[in-house]
Each structure stands twice: as structure tokens, then as C-alpha cells.
Homo-oligomer: A and B are copies of this chain.
């Protein structure tokens, strides 16, 4: 490896490698080269090697990486060896879809609490968990040792919910509300903005439409998401 600080861009790709390796393991392959892994993860081989070198020297020269071992090392690095209880706040269409999303469980993320401000939703069961009111937030975060908060409320409530989550002790927040949310420095915040993604696509789409009239070469097309 060399250093103990893993670049942010590398961290953002570790889940990609993790998933690719799990698929590889399922197909019974025991060893992969950086090139194999790169193809399955949709990146290039040099990047894979550089990224993995930040974790340690887990490969064998002339051979490649042992799949099971690498999965284990990446899991450990990502903290996937433990269970992370998740709270979802806001059970509109998106919140419900997230509560039912298969693929969280598989990675150790367990939906442990559901909160909605709407009286009418209280008491309903979604994906096997009972929806509770906003007033229950602080209590359930403590009782169920919630580690990650997901905000799926309308934009107008997002900051308030974030403040409640932080006050309750949640240090990792994923925000789906289409608004800027600010948190203290010691809290991790990531956001997923659906409309924003479409707008970025729209930019390149309209560029393409423009330049198709001219003698231009094809427009550049970027990959996306993550940090």
C-alpha cells in the first residue's frame, strides 16, 4: 500500500469492485487479474491496481487477486462486516420504495426504523416495519442504535429532519430530498438527486442535438455518479 489515507475517489469505487467480485465469485472463478476486474466494474485496469494498492498488497504478481480474499479485505475496509441499522424518514413513494429495496440487506444495511410526519401513515407497516411519528425519532435512534439516516421527505422538511437526526446522534446521512442540507463537520452527508441526474443528461443530449447539424465529431460522453 504505502499510506493509510484512502483517496475519496477510490473509496467511491470500492463498492463497485465489491459487487463485481461477488458476481465473479458466484460464477466460480477463484482468481482475477486487474484487467478482469476492470472489465466487470466498467473501469480501466490501471485504476483498479492503483485503487487496490491503497488497501494493501493483496495481489500476486504474474497471477492476479484471489477473489474471496479480496472480497473480504474490501468488505472490512468498507465496514460491511458489521450490521448497520438504517432509519428512513419520509414514506412517500420514494421512501416506500427504499424501504422495500432489496440489496440493502445483502450488504448489511437493515431497515430498522421508519418515520413519517403524517399522522395517517403512523402505525402502517411497510416492508415489515411499523411507521412511527417524528416524535419517536430520537428514541428509536437510541434504542435501535441507528447508524445511518435516509432522508426521503419533501425538500421543505429535509433540513429539519437532518437536524433531528444529528441531534439524535446519527453521523451518516443520505439525502434524497432535492435541497441543500447542511450538517456539522463530523457528520457524513451524501446526496442523491434524481432530477439533477436528468438535467446533467439533458445538457449532453442538447449539445448532441446542436452539434449534429455541424461538421463536429461526436460529443464527449462522461460516466457518472458517486462522490
Contact = CB atoms under 8 A, between A and B. Distances in A.
Interface string A178-194: 11101001111111111
Interface in A168-227: 171-174, 178-180, 182, 185-209, 218-219, 221-227
A158 interface: no
A162 to B, nearest CB: 12
A78 B202 contact: yes
A206 B174 CA distance: 16
A194 B103 contact: yes
What is the interface residue range for chain A against chain B? 35 or more
Interface stretch (A10-18, A60-68, A136-144): A10-18
Given A77-B203, A197-B174, A224 B227 contact: yes
Interface of A: 8, 11-12, 14-16, 18-20, 40-42, 77-80, 82, 84, 86, 92-94, 96-98, 100-101, 103-104, 106-109, 147-148, 171-174, 178-180, 182, 185-209, 218-219, 221-227
